[in-house]
Structure 1
Amino acid sequence: MSVRSGQSLRDACAAWLDLKRAQDKRATSLDNWTTALETHVYPYLGAVRVSDLRPEHVERLYLDLRRHGKRAGKCRTAGVTCAEHGCRPENHSGLAPKSVQHVHGALRAVLARAVASGALAVNPADDPRAREALPKRTKDTRRVSEGDYWTDAQARAFLASVAEDPLRVLWSLALATGLRRGELAGLLWRDVDLDGGTLRVRRSTTAVRGTAVSTTGKTDAAARTVPLGPSTVTALRAHRRDQRAAALAAEPGTWTDTGHVFTESDGQPVHPDRLTKRFSAASERAGLPRVGASRMPPLRRDADAPARGACLHRRPRARP
């Protein structure tokens, strides 16, 4: 993809996004880049010719996003569409530092293509003025404490309370292995070796603008083999039998064999967002407090007890 000097920044960004789609980049990354460019760059600088871009353009963009970049009501960005809805820019709050960094990363990559194509001599996003306008990176040093988790008794009370829940085996597996929400939603039977007592984590199902999208793991740590204890294997065998019986009993055309371990009543995989809602509802019904960032609770780590640090969203940081 080459960038022409007379090309608008909007067209250059759109071509860059098309290139990333052609390279089959992760759906979540594509969505982040698309949001950063279409929502936060186009309204400000989309009509500017690439060759006319200066560091002060980028600097002003970042400062405006930091002050009033968050969406408010029907307005898409920091006051750019306010006039259409009777709004005012000052009604918008500042965009989160991490989101501004996402905008910078995407814009910088587009402009790097422009430099490589000869449309720009230097990258305006690399200029000190633009970089100084960025929010400073902050390192989250919070350590996970005991308050982030249920006690052993609370965890066991939760398991007892979901004994009749259609997802009871999923909750038990999450507690026993520490699998993340997306890993549970994306788990396939072909990756489960019940005879060997292991499962292989190969993919994750994430929600992108409400749509469930399956992707492979980003790191070697994400793709891994997880041991299963005897009672977990027994529960999964029973779950597989029940699932097969449900498929056989279903009316013709009402069951889809997707190969997923955890499905809805029609065989379709469970949506990761629904897992979060159903876990929260189950916790509330059990009279249990919410724990940390929706983390599942830990018990002692052995073959079948819930794993310390299991979660429905992301892998927790190391314990102190």
Structure 2
Amino acid sequence: MAEWLYEEGIGEARAALVDHGRILEALIEREGPQVRAGALASGRLTHTVIPRKRGIARLDSGEEILIEPIPPKVAEGAQVLIEIVREAIPEEGRAKLAKGRIAPPGSKAHPGPSLLQRLHATGKVVIPCPAHEEDRLEAHGWGELMEEAMRGEVGTEAASLRIFLTPAMVLIDVDGSLPPAQLGPKGSKLAALAIRRMGLSGSIGIDLPTMNNKDERLIAATQVDKNLPLLFERTAVNGFGFIQIVRRRERASIMEVLRANPVLTAALALLRRAERHEGAASGAGAVTLAAAPAVTGLLHRNRDWLARLERRRGGAVALKEDASLAISAGYVA
């Protein structure tokens, strides 16, 4: 039976739905002030973009929210309670604002559910994974999945995916050495599994090889239905091998989280390795984190992370700046 592995890391929480040694879904929730999906938050409608249809509100926290629609009796400057339906999404060039709607009268403000609360709400078993125990996430391929998400590449020579994030949609290009009649179904299955595993959502286009007949295209489309849990909508595979999928979009995908700030991603991964470095199980261990200047600089600016690491390890933590290292090449000594 599938179960959740949950790790309360420093700077971020991590979770993976695993079954028979495989990661089916992966989730990351980073610390920060951004409002979560499902929250009811107080704010003020600052200006109208399209009358009665779209506007911008500023929460009491200072975060700006896109509002759709705007009730007729709500004017600019009005204090409003907002239901958050989508969190802010990082995009190249500019971030996509969180999205909300005016809450019904009588609603009360409350925060959105945390990652751990969302896991418990699924009804599946949740297994905590503290750093002093075996690395269950890594045993199921966590590191490999993170590398795939950063590269946007999945698969083998026989069937592979290249995944591209764009402001309009996620595009998945299927390639490989298999004949088109075999590559189509294989590629659509691989894409469906990657969509679930990385939490890709919104509009997603999959470019399969051109297949000769309708039956081949139907087999490829069926692989999506078998391997991607509801809810989603999809088109048929057209004559050019293209299929479009639409999934509800509430949060950033793993790819978006990791790529939004590569320095932050590298720093948090280094902290994770430091927690599990030899000696952590016995509670003893001063360690040195060696990393590129951008990474050590970020860690210097977040001394609370280092303090938490020291408490968890029971030893002092030092930083070593090494300009010869790539951003992702930090190590623990």
**TM-score when scaled to structure 1?**
0.23
The structure number with the bigger radius of gyration is 1
Q: Please identify which structure carries the higher strand content.
A: 2
